[in-house]
Amino acid sequence: MSILKIEGVSKFYANHTALDNVSFEIPQGCIFGLLGPNGAGKTSLIRIITQITGADSGKIYFKGERLQPGHIKDMGYLPEERGLYKKMKVGEQLLYLAQLKGLSKEDATARIKSWIDRFEIREWLDKNIEDLSKGMQQKVQFIATVLHEPSLIILDEPFSGFDPINANLIKDEILSLRERGATIIFSTHRMESVEELCDNIALINRARKVLDGPVREIKDTYKTDTYQVIGNGQLLVTSPDFEVLEQHSNHGIFRASIKLLNNTSPNDLLRYLIQRVEVHSFVELVPSINEIFIQKVKETHHA
Amino acid sequence: MHKIWLIIQREYLTRVRKKSFIIMTLLTPLLLATFMILPGLLINMSGEEETVMVLDESGLFENKLESRKDLAFIPLPDLTLDQAKTIYQETDNTALLYIPKMSIEDPKGFVVYGKKNISIQTQVSLENMLEKEIENQRYLASGLDRQTLDKIKADVKITAVNLSNEGEKGNNAIITSIAGIVGAVIIYFFIFLYGVQIMRGVIEEKTNRIVEVMISSVKPFQLMMGKIVGIAAVGLTQFLLWVILSFFAVTAVSAAFGVDAAPSPAAQYAAGQMAAQGGGLEADDPSAMANEPGEDEFANTISDVKQSFASLNIGLIFFSFLFYFLGGYLLYGSLFGAIGAAVDNETDTQQFMMPITIPLVIAFIMSYSIVLKNPDGPVAFWMSMIPLTSPIVMMVRVPFGVPAWELLLSMGLLVAGFIFTTWIASRIYRVGILMYGKKVNYKELSKWLFYRV
């Protein structure tokens, strides 16, 4: 079942089109990557989902219902441009933001307590935000985003500005949120940063969706049956079933990219190689999302 | 509604808890009390008796210079000036007044010697006394005496009375003007002080990058209105505390120093302000605070003031004040909020501040220069109808008495104006708060009004 269904959404500004007939679905309980270069329309789409702006056309369904203001409290949004009130204490700030999401004071207080215990930041509660380091502020922001236990969490460029330690902490938290049934949307232009996290992705370029689907399927579609082989010996491929795309040799150690042709299997290649050289490493070359994106964009431009 | 309420609470509490707010709120009444008490205190302090030795070679002023509470004369027998100086040096008297031989027709050559500088006050007192005595003697010489002259002297006071349907009403143009101007001044400063706070608050939310987090939970309009109302509450709190604390501070300081507040204009002003705004406060406050026993004329003035206050329609003035106070603030406050949303930092606000500052300043200047002189003239009328200027101009007019239809029309227009500026502001606001790093101009702003968001 999909938690969010986007149907033909378009958004026009005075002199450019931010979104042009974009459609895709986000399955419940997955980590979804909304990927694309800067200015592709990711933030516009997110602002439509979070009802900060409205779409000019198209429909959005949240848990099967047309998107409506009441859904806001079931979403958590960490914008790219994010900050907190500098002169406000951490505890008050979290309480305020949680209450604005519709939590009662008692619920909010209890949840804040459990989160600060988890992040071991009890001593920050009475500090002003401006007295915290940037990394600390980011933790507080993250807590504020998920405090009301939304079923949809939207993180826009979440790791820009996070230091590696905090980034890992947040990644772990995101995985545990998914365990508990939440759906997470990552929006980023740094595709490699979320590749290993995402179950599903949608690629957006110049206001249009380029492709979407489960990461595994997309990679299967775009894999090129190419294997990287490292070994010892003199490699000379003469078979018409295999094509050497690239080969380097250094002190008798070679490294080659070999493409399978004529429906041969990796095992066929391996058997062929074993008879001729000593194989140290045999890895399938899977295209990165980045490469797929570039390839796809090129295709659409030529098309 | 619940969310707006939360926003109002936050805006209110964070400001009221600020050190600067607490200090300002406590310090201002103290300063006011000091300004009112200090002159009285100083006069009393310098009240030690001064003694002046007099060497009168002319003989004209013998037994004529009467000692007063603060100024005593010690006549010297026939001595030379040098002898007198020596004697004076040995005493601790304040000064030595030397009157040379002279005729009453040509009095000159008066000298006053002192061990240190003679105060201006003493010098003026001496001059006045000598002048008066010389005049008396000249009157006598020409066959008149002081008493006849005092009989001839006239002292005219005009009592102005309004003839209206409700019957005759005493009227004092000065008091009426003060009541109006004080109300207008307060509205003027309140709009500026707290309007700018709204603007800063919005800019702060933008620069802190919290605004997008906020509007993923609440509507921009709620955020804007919450801020405007919250800050209005801060202003009202401060204003109320000022009135109450000033009252107590003045009372306490007067009691502590055993001084009546000086009958300075400041005291009357402040008292007038309290009476006009406090409504419930007794109108005889001014006399209680500013009465100085023994001075009949002053007491008369005070009772005039008292009557004039009684003649003012305090209830109506108070109600109009509250109405124009809030109406003007809301009208301008939303515009200030829109400016805050349109810019990235405070230095960029100048170009947009101008057009909303100008009507306020003009209204204020016109109130002094034209409206006060002619509170029912065409300038006064039109400026009290236009919502941008009416909070100040109408406030000045109300104490003079304004026809009901004019007041109602002006109030109605102000409400309409407030709704209109809020509409404009909310359109600019919702676009502006999400716009970063873009220098906007008026053309751009006008486009925002019709954006579909």
What pLDDT does residue B400 have?
Answer: 81
| Residue B302 pLDDT | 58
pLDDT of residue A32: 93
Select from A204, A220, A236 the last residue of a domain: A220
Instruction: Domains for chain B: give ranges and CATH numbers.
Output: 7-40+171-448 (no CATH), 46-146 (3.40.190.10)
Of A50, A56, A84, the CB nearest to B208: A84
Query: Which residues of chain B lie closer than 8 angstroms to A52, CB-CB?
Result: 212, 215-216, 434
A128 with A274, same domain? no
pLDDT confidence of residue B264? 45
Tokens for A124, please give them.
Answer: 């920050």
- The last residue of a domain, from among A220, A240, A268: A220
pLDDT of residue B412: 94
Q: What is the CATH number of the domain that holds A278?
A: 3.30.70
Same domain, A63 and A88: yes
| B-chain residues near A77 (CB < 8 A) | 212-213, 216
Q: Is the pLDDT of residue B271 over 60?
A: no
Shared-domain flag, residues A143 and A53: yes
Domain boundary among A183, A202, A220: A220
What's the first-to-final CA gap in chain B, in angstroms? 22
CA gap A207, B444 in Å, rounded: 24
Out of B209, B215, B451, the one facing A83 most closely (by C-beta) is: B209
A293 part of a folded domain? no
Quickly tell me which residue has 């508990």 as its tokens.
A180
Token pair, residue B311, equals 């003649």
Which DSSP state fits B369?
I
Nearest CA in chain B to A89: B14
Q: Which residues of chain A have pLDDT under 50?
A: none
**b/e for A261-296, b at 16 or more Cβ within 10 A?**
eeebeeeebeebbeeebeeeebeeeebebeebbeeb
Residue B131 CA to residue B214 CA, distance in Å, equals: 78
pTM over 0.90: no
Asked whether residue A51 falls in the same domain as residue A89, the answer is yes
Q: Which among B18, B206, B217, B438 is the top mutation candidate for probing chain A, defined by the most A β-carbons within 10 Å of its own β-carbon?
A: B217
- Check residue B299 and give its pLDDT: 58
> Which structural domain range is residue A269 located in?
224-285
By Cβ distance, the residue of A82, A101, A144 closest to B209 is: A82
Q: What is the CATH number of the domain that holds A40?
A: 3.40.50.300
Whether A137 and A158 map to the same domain: the answer is yes
In a domain, A280, yes or no: yes
Cβ-Cβ contacts under 8 Å, A101 against chain B: 217
Residues A190, A57, single domain; the answer is: yes
Partners of B72 in the beta sheet? B51
Could you report the per-residue pLDDT of B145-187, keeping only the tens digit for each? 777 877 777 777 776 666 655 444 455 667 777 878 888 888 8
With pLDDT > 70 as the criterion, what percentage of chain B qualifies? 81
**Which pLDDT score is estimated for B262?**
44
Chain A CB within 8 Å of residue B6 CB? yes
A75:B216 CB<8 A = yes
* Listed range (A251-255, B15-19, B275-279, B345-349) with the worst mean pLDDT: B275-279
* Residue B366, helix vs strand vs coil: helix
Query: What pLDDT score does B293 carry?
Result: 42
C-beta of residue B228 within 8 angstroms of C-beta of residue A83: no
User: Rounded to a whole number, what is the distance in Å from the CA of B215 to chain A's nearest CA?
Assistant: 7
Tell whether A137 and A266 lie within a shared domain: no
Q: Does A133 lie in the same domain as A172?
A: yes
Q: Give the tens place of pLDDT for each residue, B390-429.
A: 999 988 888 888 888 999 999 999 999 999 998 888 888 8
Number of H helices, E strands in chain A: 9, 14
Structural domain count of chain A: 2
The verdict on residue A299 lying in a domain is: no
The answer to whether residue A53 neighbours chain B at the CB level (below 8 Å) is yes
> Which pLDDT value is given to residue B282?
38
* Mean pLDDT rounded to a whole number for chain B: 79
Q: Is A96 on the interface with B (CB under 8 A)?
A: yes
Structure token digits, residue B241: 């505390």
A295 inside domain = no
d(CA B398, CA B152): 41
For A100, the closest of B212, B218, B436 (CB atoms) is B218
DSSP B370: I
Give me the sign of the Cα torsion angle A62, A67, A73, A77: positive
- The token pair at B148 is 């006849």
Task: Indicate whether A300 belongs to any domain.
Answer: no
Contacts of A144 in chain B (CB under 8 A): 213
- CB atoms < 10 A from the CB of A170, how many? 18
Higher confidence at residue B313 or residue A71?
A71
Task: Determine the pLDDT at residue B6.
Answer: 93
Q: A81 in contact with B at a CB cutoff of 8 Å? A: yes
Instruction: Check whether residue A171 and residue A229 sit in a common domain.
Output: no
Average pLDDT in the B275-288 region? 40
Q: Is the pLDDT of residue B90 over 70?
A: yes
- Is residue A29 within 8 A of residue A181, CB to CB? The reply is yes
Nearest CA in chain B to A92: B10
Confidence of residue B276 (pLDDT cuts 50, 70, 90): very low
Tell me: pLDDT of B265 over 50. no
In this structure, the answer to whether residues A18 and A114 fall within a common structural domain is yes
Q: Please count the other Cβ atoms lying within 10 Å of the Cβ belonging to residue A119.
A: 16
pLDDT at position B273: 47
In a domain, A165, yes or no: yes
Chain B CA closest to residue A86: B208
For the beta carbon of residue B262, count every other beta carbon within 10 angstroms: 21
Question: Is residue A193 located within the same domain as residue A240?
Answer: no
The highest-confidence range among A83-92, B54-63, B73-82, by mean pLDDT, is A83-92
Both A56 and A160 in one domain: the answer is yes
Closest by Cα among A30, A28, A31, A25 to A8: A25
Please compute Rg for chain B using Cα positions: 31
